Amino acid sequence: MEMDVMKTLRLDKFLCDVLGCTRSEARKMIRQGRVLAGDEIIKKPEYKVNPEEDEITADGQRLNFRKYEYLMMNKPKGVVTATKDGRDKTVMDLLTGRHRKGLFPAGRLDKDTEGLLLITNDGELAHRLLSPKHHVTKCYSVTVTGEIGREQQEIFESGMDIGDDKPLKPAKLVILTSGEVSQAEVFITEGRFHQIKRMFEAVGSKVLELKRLSMGSLVLDPELLPGQVRELTEEEIKCLKEN
Ligand code: URA
């Protein structure tokens, strides 16, 4: 079924999907003779494209059809995880260049949290990664006030009550340093509102810094500076789908 739809994709629609342009922009490019199928200039917007096989170029650039787009962002502090916001800058405002329509952040990080954020238009994958049923592990690096030790680890492991209807699922606390200010990594399989902050609050600490390092098999690329974005590799996409 999907293949039939693919075979009948109009050239103007193909350009819109790949370049993220409007239908009228696509038609203008076609009319201006800037779009080729193989060696042939195509002037008809209704020309039928097989996106899997046809070699379409626009302005000399080969266009690869991908139904879904998967972007890794190192979310910086100070922007909100939303597609639109009346007041604050959103993670979507940080995207430059042409992208697929319908992109959204898969999961939410607080405004003052940084780190790994997946932005995609693949609703099915996003749902699977976020659904509590699938227990996808997220790892966060935290800096907190006060000492942390075995007692806090046991509380995290026990499935804490942080005032919601249900207690949390067991979480893992790996302590890196403990003192007036402590550092740790926390592994959780849910994504409740302000979850990490509330977990530490419940054991008498305050989160000073919070950064997501991984989500399932997807690990934040250490080369990505806050605010930077890159496409996921084929391997990363494949592994994420197996999560
Ligand atoms: N837990 C939090 O408290 N905040 C986040 O942004 C993510 C997890």
Q: What CATH number corresponds to the domain at position 122?
A: 3.30.2350.10
243 residues of the chain, pLDDT tens digit each? 444 445 678 999 999 888 878 899 999 999 999 999 999 999 999 999 988 788 999 999 888 888 899 999 999 999 999 999 999 999 999 998 778 778 999 999 999 999 999 999 999 999 999 988 889 999 999 999 999 999 999 999 999 999 999 999 999 999 999 999 999 999 999 999 999 999 999 999 999 999 999 999 999 999 999 999 999 999 999 999 987
77 & 162 share domain: yes
User: Would you say 51 and 84 are in contact if contact means Cβ atoms under 8 Å apart?
Assistant: no
User: 114-120 and 207-215: which strand pairing?
Assistant: parallel
Domain CATH number, residue 56: 3.10.290.10
- Domain check: are 187 and 121 in the same one? yes
pLDDT for the residue numbered 1: 40
Backbone φ and ψ of 225, nearest 5°:
-80, 160
Based on the domain organization, do 110 and 196 belong to the same domain? yes
Q: Please indicate, yes or no, whether residues 78 and 134 belong to a single structural domain of this protein.
A: yes
| Sign (positive or negative) of CA dihedral 124, 130, 135, 137 | positive
Burial, 1: exposed, middle or buried (Cβ in 10 Å; 0-12, 13-18, 19+)? Answer: exposed
Distance 193 CA to ligand 1 centre (A): 7
User: For the chain, what is the domain count?
Assistant: 2
Q: Give yes or no for a contact between 44 and 31, defined as CB atoms under 8 angstroms apart.
A: no
Question: To the nearest 5 percent, what fractions of the chain are helix, strand and coil?
Answer: 25, 30, 45
209 and 154 in a common domain = yes
Q: Are 145 and 43 within one domain?
A: no
Q: With both helix axes pointing from N to C terminus, report the angle between 234-241 and 123-130 in degrees, rounded to the nearest 10.
A: 60
Range of the domain at 59: 5-63
Greatest C-alpha distance within the chain: 71
Same domain, 85 and 173: yes
13 and 46 housed in the same domain: yes
State the pLDDT at residue 6.
Answer: 53
Q: Which residues pair with 184 in a beta bridge?
A: 142, 175
Q: For residue 66, how far is the Cα from the chain centroid?
A: 16
Domain match, 231 and 114 both: yes
| Beta-bridge partners for 141 | 185, 211
List the residue whose alpha carbon is closest to atom 3 of ligand 1. Answer: 194
Quick count: other Cβ atoms within 10 Å of Cβ 68?
14
What is the enclosing helix (H) or strand (E) of 67?
Answer: none
Q: How far is the CA of 30 from the centre of ligand 1 (A)?
A: 47
Residue type, 159: G
Question: Got the DSSP string for 131-158?
Answer: -GGG---EEEEEEEES---HHHHHHHHT
- Residue 231 and residue 146 share a domain: yes
92 and 14 part of one domain:
no
DSSP β-ladder status, 172-177 and 229-231: unpaired
Q: Which of 30, 63, 96 is the last residue of a domain?
A: 63
Catalytic residue list contains 110: yes
Same-domain check for residues 82 and 42? no
Pocket of ligand 1 (CB under 6 A): 109-110, 113, 194-197, 210
State in Å: Cα 173 to ligand 1 middle: 15
Closest by Cα among 75, 78, 77, 102 to 88: 78
